[in-house]
Amino acid sequence: MANNKKSGNKVASIIAHAAKLSELIDYQNSSVVSKEIIKKEKGTVTLFAFDKGQGLSEHTAPFDAMVYNCGGKAEITIDGKPHILRAGEIIIMPANKPHSLKAVARFKMLLIMIRA
Q: What share of the chain is helix, strand, coil (3-state, %, to 5)?
A: 10, 55, 40
Of 75, 81, 82, 62, the closest CA to residue 101 belongs to 75
Could you tell me the mean pLDDT of each successive run of 10 residues in the chain, 116 residues long? 45 80 93 94 95 97 94 97 98 96 97 90
Q: How far apart are CA 74 and CA 85, in angstroms?
A: 5
Domains (range + CATH), the chain: 5-114 (2.60.120.10)
Report whether 54 contacts 31 (CB < 8 A). Answer: yes
Question: pLDDT at position 9, please?
Answer: 61
